[in-house]
Amino acid sequence: MKKVCRKMVLSIAIFFIALSAHASAENVYDMRGMLPPVRDQGDFSTCWSFAVTGAMESNLIKKGLAEKDIDLSEYYLSYYTFNDESQKLYSFRSAKNSGFDTEASDFMSSAILARGTGPVYEKDAPYPLKKAKAVKPQVTQKKFKLKSILYLGEDASDVPLAGERISTIKSAIAKYGGASAALCFPDGKDGGASAEDLLSSSFGYYTGFKLGDKGRGSVYRTANHDVLIVGWNDDFSRDKFGGKNGRAPKPSKNGAWIVRNSWGKDWGDKGYFYVPYEEGTMVNGIVYDVVPVVPDENIYQYDILGMAIFINGDDVALKSQGRTIPAWCANIFTAERNENVNSVALYTPRPDTECEVAIYTETAADSPATGHLALTQKYVLGAPGFHSIDLPTPVKVKNGERFSVVMKLTAKGSEFPIPAEMRIAGDEDHAKSVSHPKESFISASGKYWTDLNFIDETANVCIKAYCTPTGK
């Protein structure tokens, strides 16, 4: 059995499920014929990278931006998640997370992709199947960029793919391509069944566990292996589960996800297997939307390691009471050339977060809502996650000019709508987070602003601006 990767979760981040798309009426939906052959993670703990990369490949294929032979590099993403890509793009790293063969999470891959690290083609960063052949991949020009990530879970904890979430995930797959997910692959070390024991001759896999179920030796069942959901079959028989010996449990109803693994095409059904909708350890469900890179595009950002927590405009540690309280946040950037500001980006914590964007030029050094108001626009962002927002018209800025991106955020049922990067006790992944004065600001009113660096010297607002040269 290949090495299984354990998912890490940032419990401080809160996401709720929403997707503005109706569920597909099809009983069977199967992307396998559209996708490249299943690949092999070898002995590395990189299942998360294969799931994310597979999701991006399927998204590009579905949109007609790539052929079925597309091959993006899993190694480039996994390596530069834990190793600095450049002086400006430092990595997640701690005493325990120093190598690329390290377990990661969807939140980490979101941050790495959102800041402009990858994806690149496999030929530019080939995957080593043996650790002895693992070398530093050459930093190379990116071919695609992240546009959005939609989180289909109810929060940042592991949430089973059950109930109403089934139709939501079907809708997301039909619209965007494969959905990254995770499930429990027990190794039998606690005296219980192994993953192979639970796989039937029909390649149906069902544990019968729920998250947190206690195994032998005080081992709790967790989602420890990342995979990619590429379709479903509502009529897949419950009798096709039960393990190869027929002694494993069976679900109570028909219906299963079609799942792509990362253990090569010789495992399972040419690398795929089937998981019933009832599987209690299958969690999350995340889709990625990627587009071709824009030539000579600058990304202005301070959150190199991405969102770590959602805060409010006062940075007051309130106990969440499910109230809807708007807050304002802003980043001040300095243009490196004559440019057009074409789009902005942020993370959202709740479904249908309302976002009012304002772009100011000739901004004062310590006051984001000053200078010339060049643009205002309101948006409703359907699903929680990471969103790039295209501006209706570009905003021109001059070389050396300060400009600000100001956002009023209203997340339904949340007092904490502002996405922030900062060091938090117990969160080793953001240990390298740093900030500087006069960059990121928060406000409870939109009138009086507080420099976030004054509150926390490691904190940044997670707002990005994407700019291209004007040629003048």
Mind listing the pLDDT tens digit for each residue in 341-369?
999 999 998 888 999 999 999 999 999 99
CA 161 to CA 168: how far, in whole Å?
10
pLDDT digits (tens, 9 = 90+) for 279-319: 999 988 899 999 999 999 999 999 999 999 999 998 776 66
83-87, 93-97, 155-159, 333-337, range with greatest mean pLDDT: 333-337
Strand partners, 225: 183
Sign of CA dihedral 133, 138, 142, 147: positive
Banded model confidence at residue 158, pLDDT cuts 50, 70, 90: low
pLDDT of 9 strictly over 50: no
Task: Report the alpha-carbon distance of residue 124 to residue 450 in Å, rounded.
Answer: 44
Instruction: Quote the CA–CA distance of 100 and 46 in Å, as a whole number.
Output: 8
pLDDT at residue 106 in the model: 80
Structural domains of the chain ordered from first start: 28-288 (3.90.70.10), 295-469 (2.60.120)
Neighbouring C-alpha atoms within 13 Å toward the C-beta of 21: 19
Q: pLDDT-derived band of residue 7, with 50, 70 and 90 as boundaries?
A: very low
pLDDT value of residue 317: 66
Q: Give the pLDDT score at 472.
A: 57
Predicted confidence band of residue 10 (pLDDT cuts 50, 70, 90): very low
Q: In sequence order, which residues have a C-beta less than 8 Å from that of residue 126 and are 6 or more positions away?
A: 73, 75, 137
pLDDT value at residue 192: 76
Closest-CA residue to 107 (of 429, 461, 460): 429
**What does the pLDDT average to over 56-79?**
96
pLDDT at 182 over 50: yes
Say what percent of the chain tops pLDDT 70.
Answer: 90
Whether the per-residue pLDDT at 72 is higher than 70: the answer is yes
Contact present, 60 and 81 (Cβ < 8 Å)? no
- 141: confidence class by pLDDT, cuts 50, 70, 90: confident
Chain segment 242-283, per-residue pLDDT in tens: 998 888 899 999 999 999 999 999 999 999 999 999 999 998
Taking the CA atoms of 421, 351, 279 and 2 in sequence, report the sign of the dihedral they define: negative
Picking from 133-142, 312-321, 323-332, 436-445, which range would have the lowest pLDDT averaged per residue? 312-321
Tell me the CA distances in angstroms from 424 to 76, 213, 310, 363, 406, one per residue in order: 27, 29, 12, 31, 25
d(C-alpha 171, C-alpha 409), whole Å: 26
Region 200-207 average pLDDT: 96
pLDDT of residue 154: 56
Over the chain, what is the mean pLDDT?
88
User: Mind listing the pLDDT tens digit for each residue in 34-63?
Assistant: 999 999 999 898 999 999 999 999 999 999
Distance (Å) of CA 300 to CA 111, 125, 216, 295, 337: 14, 26, 50, 15, 12
Rounded CA-CA distance 80/292 in Å is 20
Q: Average of pLDDT values for 417-446?
A: 92
CA–CA distances in Å: residue 54 to residues 69, 218, 227, 354, 389: 12, 34, 9, 31, 24
Asked if pLDDT for residue 29 goes beyond 90, the answer is yes
Averaged pLDDT, 18-35 = 73
